[in-house]
Each structure stands twice: as structure tokens, then as C-alpha cells.
Amino acid sequence: MALREDLPRAALQRIVEDSLQHLLRLIRPNGRFVYAHPAGHPDRPLEGYNMLRHCGTLWFMLRAVNDLGLALGEPDRQAIGRAVGYAAGKFARPGWLDGDTLALVTKDAVKTGGIGLALVMLAEYRRAGGMPTGATSGALPGPIDDTIRALAAYGLAQRDGMDFLHKRQFSDGAVLPFRSDYYTGELLLGLFVTSHTDPGALAATEALMARRYGVPEQSHWMAYAACEAAERGLAGDERLVGYLADLVGDIIDKPGYRARRQSTPIACRSEALTRFVLLCDRWPGRFSDGLRAAALRAADENLVLQLDWYDAGQFRKGDEDDKVQIDYVQHNATAFLNRWMIG
């Protein structure tokens, strides 16, 4: 069934707004979210926390406010300010790195993907009007532009040849062996969105796309980063067109992720597909009409599936698990927001 038969544009917006409202209700007085709960029972919090997902969730929430043009009441603005402040409370200056840098630190470790997600979070926070910004609000330790600049400086310092380091020990800077399928895409997106690049980072971006980094993983973060690079003219057109055609084509041609019957793996591909369609409309003449149509068709099929696990602003994990987690809401609702933006 086509998406438009089930979800006119007003219904897409309602899903986004209801998801935003649910997440706002999960922000505690100290700015920390109720990270997870059984569906329909936010009063029964489950164990666990992840600061990357904290920042990514705020990125969605602030995008919803900004892109939909919502006028939040003062209690909601203060709640978002507290949540941004909770993340900012994890920012610290690594003594082993030269220059003015900030890292997002959890358990004496710095995850490079967290830098990227903190950057996109702060970029949307800066774009939103009427949000708490001063030290007295608890939102940020200093001016937002300085904070963004220092985080970006840390991210740029993680370039390692034609790639990036993914995890370091905060206390002494030791490089840890952990690698993620997603951290590099998250970092590049954060750097591009905040206009912080250098020749080395751009050369690494070209090299990563040349070796099809993120294509086998169907990485939505690399789709976001590549689309942002295209709109900002940060890489060669031919390279970007070939890379995105490969990545989007892989998602279209290999829909096995749907068989898992879980909302978020589907949602992440929906994000990539819808972001690509937005790029086609903003960067015309580079991709075939057929690829755009196939991407939109696959996205709409995915979004209808995602509704199987949706109710009242909450997205459950899947058929076998009714857990609702902040990042499940983030990824699913962001896909609906992207689709709303297509029109």
C-alpha cells in the first residue's frame, strides 16, 4: 500500500509532533531522559544509558521544532535546555591534545561518533529561537559557537590518514581498539553541518567514498554526510553521485533488513532513502528520475511497516519486544519528518 493512502501530510506531522511530545515528557529535572520503558509505561524506566543516543534524540527533537516551525511553551524549552545541559556536563578538555578542544566523555572514554552527534545537536539548538543558552540556565558552559568550534577541533584531530580514530581513553589519550560501523559518518555529518572542515578531512571523505565505506552496512549516517557534502560542495560531484547511487541502490536492492521485524533497522534505511530524495530535489540533474522514484517507493513501503510498532508517539523495538527506547523514537520519527519535508 502506498504511503499517501494511509498517511497524508498532516498525519505525518502528527506522528512527528506526538513523538516529540513523548520525548519531552521523558526529560527528567536533571536533563537526563528516561532512556527506555515498556510501551505505554514511561513510569517504569528500564536500565541503561547512552550519551550518543541522548544527543541524537535531541537532534531529532530540535529538528522537529525547527523544521515544523513549532512554538514550544516555556516548560518545554526549559526541558530541552536541561537535556542539552546534561550533555554539556559531559564536555571536558583533553589535556593531551593541543589547542582549544572539547570532548564528550563517558566512563573515561571519548567516542568519535559522540562528537558528531553533539555537533548536530548543538547546530539545531543554535538554530532554534528562545532556547536557554547561558551558564545560569545550565545549558552550556560558554558561548555556543565556541563550544561547537572546540568539539569540531577535537573531531578533526581524530583523522588518522584517510580515516578517523573511533575511541580514545580520556585520561591519557590512548587509542582504544573499538571500531563502529557508524562513528565516521556521524562525525563527518557533524563537521559538515557546522561548517568545520580542513583539507585533510575532505581528502579522507573522498577516500572513504572511493572505497565504498558504509555501503555494505547501508549506513544512514554516511547517507546524511554524503548528502550534506553534496549540498555544500565539499566533494567532487562525480564521486558523490557514484557513492550515493551505490549506497541507495544497495538499500533498495537488498531489503532483507525488513525480515527482522524490528522498527529501528527499517527506520534507519528510511532515513537514508528520504534524505537522498530531499537531495535529489535540492541538487537537481545529478540522479535519474528512476532512482529517485525507487528510493521514495522503498521509503514509503518502509514507513508503512514502521507503523506496525507505533502508538501515541512511541515506537516499540519490534514483534518480540515491546521496549521503547529514546533512539527508537528518534530514528523512526526522523524518517517521518524527512518524508514530511519531501511534501
pLDDT tens per residue, the chain (343 residues)?
Answer: 345 566 799 999 999 999 999 999 999 999 999 999 999 999 999 999 999 999 999 999 999 999 999 999 999 999 999 999 999 999 999 999 999 999 999 999 999 999 999 999 999 999 997 787 654 445 677 899 999 999 999 999 999 999 999 999 999 999 999 999 999 999 999 999 999 999 999 999 999 999 999 999 999 999 999 999 999 999 999 999 999 999 999 999 999 999 999 999 999 999 999 999 999 999 999 999 999 999 999 999 999 999 999 999 999 999 999 999 999 999 999 999 999 999 8
**Which H/E stretch holds residue 103?**
strand 103-106
How far apart CA 57 and CA 79 sit, in angstroms, is 13
Cα–Cα dist 263/315, whole Å: 7
Q: Taking Cα atoms as reference points, which of 15, 17, 45, 13 lies closest to residue 32?
A: 45
Could you give the angle at the alpha carbon of 280 between the alpha carbons of 275 and 286, nearest 5°?
Answer: 135
- The position carrying cell 573531531 is 155
How many Å apart are CA 279 and CA 157, to the nearest integer?
A: 29
Sequence-distant (6+) residues with CB within 8 A of 41 are none
Query: Which pLDDT score is estimated for 275?
Result: 98
pLDDT at 118: 98
Quick one: pLDDT at residue 134?
A: 53
Q: What are the grid coordinates assigned to 309, written together?
A: 510498532
Identify the CA nearest to 275 among candidates 127, 67, 50, 119: 67
Sole residue written with cell 515528557: 25
pLDDT at 207: 98
pTM exceeds 0.85 for this model:
yes
Strand 103-106 to 109-111 pairing: antiparallel
Closest of 55, 128, 132, 28 to residue 327, by C-alpha: 55
Give the integer Cα–Cα distance in Å for 21 and 65. 11
Cell of 268: 534507519
User: Which of 52, 69, 37 lies closest to 337 in space, CA to CA?
Assistant: 69
Counting Cβ atoms within 10 Å, is residue 128 exposed (0-12), middle (13-18) or buried (19+)? middle
pLDDT of residue 129: 78
Is residue 323 within 8 Å of 316, Cβ to Cβ?
A: yes
Helix (H, G, I), strand (E, B) or coil at 311: strand
Contact 211, 217 (CB under 8 A): no
